[in-house]
Amino acid sequence: MADFLSLVNSFTATVSFSAFDKMVPLLASAEAAEVAEVAEEAAEADEALVVAGVLLSLITIYLASKIGGEICARINLPPVLGDLVGGVVIGVSVLKLLVFPEGGEDASSSVIMGFVQSTTDLEPSALVATFQSQSEVIAILAELGVIILLFEIGLESELKELIKYGPQAAVVAVVGVVAPFVAGTVGLITLFHVATIPAIFAGAALTATSIGITAKVLAEIGRLSAKEGQIIIGAAVLDDILGIIVLAVVASLVKTGEVEVANIAYLIVSAGAFLVGVILLGRFLSPYYVGLVKELKTRGPLLISALIIAFVLAYVGAAIQLEAILGAFAAGLVLGETDKQQELEEQVVPVSDVFVPIFFVVVGAKTNLGVLNPADPSNREGLIIATFLIVVAIIGKTIAGFTIFGQPEINRLAIGIGMIPRGEVGLVFAGVGAASGALSESLEAAIIMMVILTTFVAPPLLRVVFKEEEPLPQPESVGSSQE
C-alpha cells in the first residue's frame, strides 16, 4: 500500500510540475504581450503630445524672435541680436521655457513640458520620452535653419566683387582671418590652458565678419560706394568664404578628435577643392538649370529646384566629412551667378524668415550666461576668457585695415573697424561648436558675449571714424539691397 501511495504521489508531482513548466512560458508570453501593448499605447500618446510640445516651442521661439528683433530694430541694432537675446531670455539662463537635455536639463525643468503635462493626460512616465523627442525636433529645425542661412549668404556673396576690389580686399580678408585666429587659439592654449580642439574652435569663431551689418551702416552714412566701403565689402565677402572653410575644417577636427598637420592639410585642401569644383561645375551647368526652371509648369519651380540643389550639395559636404553648411554655401554662390539670382533671393527670404530665427533663438536658449556670473568665484576665469576674446576680436580685425597698400589717403582705421562685427556668422560658429560638444559652457558663453559686443560696438564706431568726411551719393538699389 505504501508503495502504491508513493507511486501516486510521484506521478502527481510529475504531472503538476510538467504542467507548471508549460504554463510559465505561456503566462510570461501573455504578460510580455500586455506590456508591449501598453508600451505601444504610450508611444502613440507620446507622438501626439510631441507635436503639442513642438508647437508650443515654436510659438515661444517666434514670439522671442519678433519681440527681440523689433526692440533691436527700433534702437538701430541688427535684428539678429534680438533673436539671440530673446533666446537667452526664454532659455536656460532666465525663464527656462526652452531647454534641452544635452544641456543637463531634465523634463521637470522645462516650463513648456510642465504646461503640456498639466493640460493633457501625459503620464509622468512618458514625460521624459516626450521631452527628448520634442527637443530633437526643435534641434533638427534649427539645423535646417542654419543650412538655409548659409545658402542665403552664398546667394548674397557676389564673386564678381572679389575681382573688382582686387588684391587689397584679399589682403584685408586674409589678415583679418589669420590674425584673430592665431592670437585667439594660441592665447587660449598658453594663457588659459584650454584644450587644443576647443581653443581652435574658439579661435575660428573670431574669424568671421558680418557683411550685412557693416553694409547697412555704410549705406546709412553714405560711404558704401567709397573706396573704404568697396574694400570692406569685398574683404567681407572673401572673409565669409574663408570663415566657412575654417568652420568646416574645425568641425571635422572635432569629429576625428585629432589635430594632425596631415589631417588639417587634407581638410583644407578638400574644402577648397570642393568649393572651387562646385563653382566651376555650377558655371557650366547653370544655363541648363535656368532653362529647366523656365520649362517647369508647377508652383515654385525656382525655389524648389534651388533648395534641391542646396540640400544635395549640403549632403555631399557632410558625406565627405566636411560640413553640410559648406555645401549649402557653395550652392548659394553658384546660383547667385545666374540671371535668376535676384528673383531667387526674393523667394528664399520667406523660407529663411521661417527657419533661420529658430537657429538663432536656440543658440541663445542653450547659452547659460550664468557661468559668467561674477558673483560666483568659479566663473571669474570664464569672464576673463570672454574679455580676452573680445579684445582679440577687435584688435585682430582692426589691424587688418592697416595692411592696405598703395592708398595713402584711405581711411585704414575705418576699414579695420568695418570688419569687426561678427553678427550671424559668429553665431553659426557658436551654434555648431555647441552642437558638436567641442565647447564648454563657459567657453560657449564667452563666444556669445564676444559676438554680442563686437556687433554692438561696430556701428557707432563706424559713424565716429567717418564723421569728418562728406557722404558720397549712394545708388538707391545698393543701399536697399544690403539691408
Domain with 320 in it: 141-481
* Residue 330: all three cell numbers together: 557653395
Assigned domain for 76 exists: no
pLDDT of residue 30: 47
Assigned domain for 241 exists: yes
Distance CA 407, CA 169 (A): 12
User: In this structure, which amino acid lies at residue 326?
Assistant: L
Alpha carbon of 147 to those of 21, 339, 358: distances in Å? 60, 23, 12
Question: Is the Cβ–Cβ distance between 443 and 449 less than 8 Å?
Answer: no
Assigned domain for 252 exists: yes
Q: What is the pLDDT of residues 197-228, one digit of tens each?
A: 899 889 988 998 876 667 667 776 777 777 78
Q: What is the pLDDT of residues 266-306, one digit of tens each?
A: 777 887 888 889 988 988 888 898 899 989 989 989 999 99
Q: Which residues have C-beta within 8 Å of that of residue 33, sequence separation ≥ 6? A: none
CATH number at residue 183: 1.20.1530.20
Angle at CA 273, nearest 5°, toward 149 and 140? Answer: 30
Question: Is the Cβ–Cβ distance between 332 and 349 less than 8 Å?
Answer: no
Nearest to 205 by CA among 170, 165, 254: 254
Q: Please state, rounded to an integer, the average pLDDT across all residues of the chain.
A: 80
Confidence of residue 259 (pLDDT cuts 50, 70, 90): low
pTM: 0.71
The DSSP output letter for 274 is H
CA 176 to chain CA centroid, nearest Å: 21
* Residue 187: all three cell numbers together: 592665447
Residues 137-151: what's their mean pLDDT?
91
Question: Is the Cβ–Cβ distance between 359 and 146 less than 8 Å?
Answer: yes
The size of the chain, in residues, is: 483
* Residue 162: all three cell numbers together: 572679389
Distance CA 66, CA 77 (A): 14
For 169-206, the DSSP string reads: HHHHHHHHHHHHHHHHHHHHHHHH---HHHHHHHHHHT
Question: Is the Cβ–Cβ distance between 437 and 254 less than 8 Å?
Answer: yes
Question: Is the Cβ–Cβ distance between 434 and 251 less than 8 Å?
Answer: no
pLDDT of residue 192: 92
Question: Is the Cβ–Cβ distance between 381 and 442 less than 8 Å?
Answer: yes
How many domains does the structure of the chain reveal? 1
Assigned domain for 123 exists: no
* Residue 234: all three cell numbers together: 569685398
pLDDT at 34 over 50: no
Assigned domain for 149 exists: yes
